[in-house]
């Protein structure tokens, strides 16, 4: 089997990936906080881990991929209040948006998608263990994690993942209103409800009614769904699961805190073995933000008729752990690239059955080693896209029809593996902006022509109805056209029409 190497942020090096249990590889990725439409930065993480999920599925017999939905959070409470709607209505709607938009980009659904509000019991149980182990305390109505207590837990120390120094965090942090904290770096595990809070965000706990902090849910849910129960508590080399992924912006404080909580709550466990982080997305070199007006959601792009596969291609066109700058040019290049790939697949008239417009079906295909190596070597999706283009050249150079078909089959299989070639070949003829505009114009011309024909037909039917003294039918036709903005005018010469 081809060795998989991944850059492990926790160790600060590229490592050969060895699953804890080769019969069930387990991956956890931090999912969305459901208060707004997913933007392209959110989408990048989903697409990157989707390809990693596909790769693991290809390499191992079983993969369990858990991605949470954060449906209890201050941002959710604030958004629901601003919209004047119940929290549950907001979180349900935004969860649906997230699924719709991520499906449109060709992402497979994770194996498990736990929601924080449905996992309050394991969250409380973990907080109780952390308190019992002396790493958390109750103050000001909150349960706080005491970062100073982490010390050296096995090989882990607080700040190992993010490269932050505990002393700096303590010295650098401003003491704000939360002066009940023993240490400015301490973070919330449970916070009390505020008067008037929507009850769907309020839960009973041993510390009073309230809700969990953000970090604790990932510690609780990843362990609940992915922990390797076959190993004993006292096995010093025990990890809960193989891969923990998320955006680089989550390294601190979110992921650092996840590790600290899990190690304090489950002594002897090292939590996740390999920490994978995908890079930031900037827009024209700037950080994406609503105030800068450069905030791009997946839906914005889909509404502009940019195809899901184009967005996916653009998001995979940089190495996963490097920053990706989103520009009009990157999008245009992705459109051109896909147009070329589809054109190449379509141009061979003889169909050998290797192209079917259906999503990747998880059935293992024999992928060429050199293609797989682009991904197994720290997961270089840019190289794997380049591989597709080298196949295009190979097809062009192939001398016999047979070898053309052979190379095409490889192109289709590798492309499908990456989440492309899910469009019907006959419908894939307007990928680029120019082509889309041309087709939109054409469709308009056809529509206008059809409208004229339709109206004239209706006028003729009405005239016939009038002659037969069927005035009810004649009036019905007139009213129906009026409802569509077409006004009929009768004169001695006959009936004419105009737009209202």
Under the binding rule (CB under 5 A), the answer on residue 216 touching Zn ion is: no
Q: What string marks each residue from 297 to 316 as x (binds Zn ion by CB under 5 A) or -? A: --------------------
Among 45, 131, 135, 218, binds Zn ion (CB under 5 A): 218
Q: In whole angstroms, how close is the CB of 23 to Zn ion at the nearest point? A: 26
- Residue (30 or 301) nearer to Zn ion, CB: 30
Under the binding rule (CB under 5 A), the answer on residue 264 touching Zn ion is: no
Closest CA relative to residue 113, chosen from 203, 188, 53, 197: 53
**Which H or E run includes 254?**
none
Under the binding rule (CB under 5 A), the answer on residue 259 touching Zn ion is: no
Under the binding rule (CB under 5 A), the answer on residue 29 touching Zn ion is: no
Cα–Cα distance list, 150 to 48, 62, 137, 467, 469 (Å) = 32, 34, 13, 93, 92
Under the binding rule (CB under 5 A), the answer on residue 34 touching Zn ion is: no
Q: Which stretch binds Zn ion (CB under 5 A): 12-20, 29-37, 286-294, 442-450?
A: 29-37
Q: Of residues 161-200, which lie at the interface with Zn ion (CB under 5 A)?
A: none
Under the binding rule (CB under 5 A), the answer on residue 27 touching Zn ion is: no
Under the binding rule (CB under 5 A), the answer on residue 30 touching Zn ion is: yes
Under the binding rule (CB under 5 A), the answer on residue 66 touching Zn ion is: no
Under the binding rule (CB under 5 A), the answer on residue 276 touching Zn ion is: no
Residue 206's Cβ-side half-sphere holds a number of Cα atoms within 13 Å equal to 13
Question: Distance between CA 24 and CA 22 in Å, rounded?
Answer: 5
Q: In whole angstroms, how close is the CB of 94 to Zn ion at the nearest point? A: 17
Q: Crossing angle for the helix pair 120-132 and 256-265, nearest 10 degrees?
A: 70
- In this structure, the strands spanning 25-29 and 63-67 are parallel
Q: In whole angstroms, how close is the CB of 246 to Zn ion at the nearest point? A: 6
- Residue (218 or 395) nearer to Zn ion, CB: 218
Q: Could you give the angle at the alpha carbon of 190 between the alpha carbons of 187 and 195, nearest 5°?
A: 120
Burial bucket for residue 184 (CB in 10 Å: 0-12, 13-18, 19+): middle
Q: Which stretch binds Zn ion (CB under 5 A): 55-63, 81-89, 214-222, 234-242?
A: 214-222
- Residue (191 or 244) nearer to Zn ion, CB: 244
Under the binding rule (CB under 5 A), the answer on residue 243 touching Zn ion is: no
Cα 116 to chain center, whole Å?
18
Under the binding rule (CB under 5 A), the answer on residue 127 touching Zn ion is: no
List of residues 6+ apart from 25 with CB closer than 8 A: 19, 56, 60, 62, 63, 64, 242, 243
Q: Of residues 332-371, which lie at the interface with Zn ion (CB under 5 A)?
A: none
Q: Which stretch binds Zn ion (CB under 5 A): 24-32, 272-280, 322-330, 382-390?
A: 24-32
Which neighbouring-strand residues pair with 65? 27
Q: Tokens for 217?
A: 């849910």
- Across 426-464, b (16+ Cβ under 10 Å) vs e yields eebebbbeeebeeeeeeeeeeeeeeeeeeeeebbeebee
Under the binding rule (CB under 5 A), the answer on residue 52 touching Zn ion is: no
- Residue (30 or 281) nearer to Zn ion, CB: 30
Question: Could you give phi then psi for residue 68, rounded to 5 degrees?
Answer: -85, 165
Q: What is the DSSP string of 44-89?
A: HHHHHHHHHHHHHHHHSS-EEEEE-BB---HHHHHHHHHHTS-HHH
- Residue (270 or 416) nearer to Zn ion, CB: 270
Q: In whole angstroms, how close is the CB of 30 to Zn ion at the nearest point? A: 3
Residue 170 φ/ψ region, left for φ over 0, alpha for ψ in the -120 to 50 degree band, beta for the rest: alpha
Q: In whole angstroms, how close is the CB of 219 to Zn ion at the nearest point? A: 8
Under the binding rule (CB under 5 A), the answer on residue 10 touching Zn ion is: no
- Residue (257 or 374) nearer to Zn ion, CB: 257
Residue 337's CB is within 10 A of a number of other CB atoms, namely: 20
Question: Distance between CA 381 and CA 35 in Å, rounded?
Answer: 30
Q: In whole angstroms, how close is the CB of 257 to Zn ion at the nearest point? A: 9
Q: In whole angstroms, how close is the CB of 27 to Zn ion at the nearest point? A: 13
Under the binding rule (CB under 5 A), the answer on residue 72 touching Zn ion is: no
Under the binding rule (CB under 5 A), the answer on residue 126 touching Zn ion is: no
Under the binding rule (CB under 5 A), the answer on residue 116 touching Zn ion is: no
- Residue (217 or 413) nearer to Zn ion, CB: 217
- In this structure, the strands spanning 25-29 and 241-247 are parallel
Q: Which stretch binds Zn ion (CB under 5 A): 30-38, 40-48, 53-61, 476-484?
A: 30-38
Under the binding rule (CB under 5 A), the answer on residue 94 touching Zn ion is: no
Q: In whole angstroms, how close is the CB of 308 to Zn ion at the nearest point? A: 26
Burial bucket for residue 88 (CB in 10 Å: 0-12, 13-18, 19+): middle
Q: What is the largest CA-CA distance in the chain?
A: 100
User: Count of residues binding Zn ion (CB under 5 A)?
Assistant: 2
Residues that bind Zn ion (CB under 5 A): 30, 218
């Amino acid at each position: 089997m081809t060795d998989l190497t991944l850059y492990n942020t926790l160790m600060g090096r590229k490592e050969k990936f060895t699953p804890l249990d080769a019969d069930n590889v387990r991956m956890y990725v931090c999912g969305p906080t459901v208060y707004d439409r997913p933007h392209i930065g959110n989408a990048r993480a989903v697409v990157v881990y989707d390809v990693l999920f596909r790769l693991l599925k290809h390499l191992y017999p079983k993969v369990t991929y858990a991605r949470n939905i954060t449906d209890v959070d201050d941002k959710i409470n604030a958004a629901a209040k601003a919209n004047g709607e119940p929290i549950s209505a907001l979180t349900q709607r935004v969860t649906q948006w997230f699924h719709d938009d991520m499906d449109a980009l060709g992402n497979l659904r994770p194996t498990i998608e736990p929601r924080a509000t449905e996992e309050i019991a394991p969250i409380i149980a973990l907080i109780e263990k952390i308190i019992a182990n002396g790493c958390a305390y109750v103050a000001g109505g909150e349960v706080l994690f005491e970062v100073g207590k982490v010390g050296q837990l096995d090989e882990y120390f607080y700040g190992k993942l993010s490269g932050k120094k505990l002393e700096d965090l303590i010295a650098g942090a401003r003491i704000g209103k939360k002066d009940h904290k023993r240490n400015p770096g301490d973070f919330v595990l449970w916070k009390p409800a505020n008067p008037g809070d929507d009850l769907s965000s309020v839960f009973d706990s041993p510390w009073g009614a309230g809700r969990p902090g953000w970090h604790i849910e990932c510690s609780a849910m990843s362990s609940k769904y992915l922990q390797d129960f076959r190993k004993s508590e006292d096995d010093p080399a025990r990890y809960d699961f193989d891969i923990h992924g998320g955006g680089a912006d989550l390294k601190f404080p979110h992921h650092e805190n996840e590790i600290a909580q899990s190690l304090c709550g489950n002594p002897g466990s090292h939590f996740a073995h390999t920490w994978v982080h995908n890079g930031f997305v900037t827009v024209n070199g700037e950080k994406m933000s609503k105030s800068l007006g450069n905030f791009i959601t997946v839906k914005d792009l889909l509404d502009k008729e940019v195809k899901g596969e184009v967005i996916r291609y653009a998001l995979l066109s940089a190495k996963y752990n490097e920053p990706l700058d989103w520009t009009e040019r990157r999008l245009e290049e992705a459109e051109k690239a896909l147009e070329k790939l589809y054109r190449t697949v379509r141009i061979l008239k003889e169909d050998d059955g290797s192209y079917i417009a259906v999503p990747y079906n998880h059935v293992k295909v024999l992928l060429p080693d050199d293609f797989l190596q682009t991904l197994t070597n720290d997961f270089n999706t840019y190289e794997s896209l380049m591989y597709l283009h080298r196949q295009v050249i190979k097809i062009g150079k192939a001398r016999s029809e047979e070898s053309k078909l052979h190379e095409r089959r490889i192109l289709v299989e590798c492309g499908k593996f990456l989440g492309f070639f899910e469009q019907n070949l006959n419908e894939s003829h307007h990928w680029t902006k120019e082509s889309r505009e041309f087709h939109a114009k054409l469709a308009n011309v056809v529509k206008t022509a059809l409208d004229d024909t339709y109206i004239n037909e209706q006028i003729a039917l009405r005239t016939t109805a009038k002659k037969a003294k069927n005035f009810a039918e004649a009036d019905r036709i007139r009213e129906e056209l009026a409802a569509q903005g077409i006004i009929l005018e009768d004169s001695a010469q006959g009936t004419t029409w105009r737009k209202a």
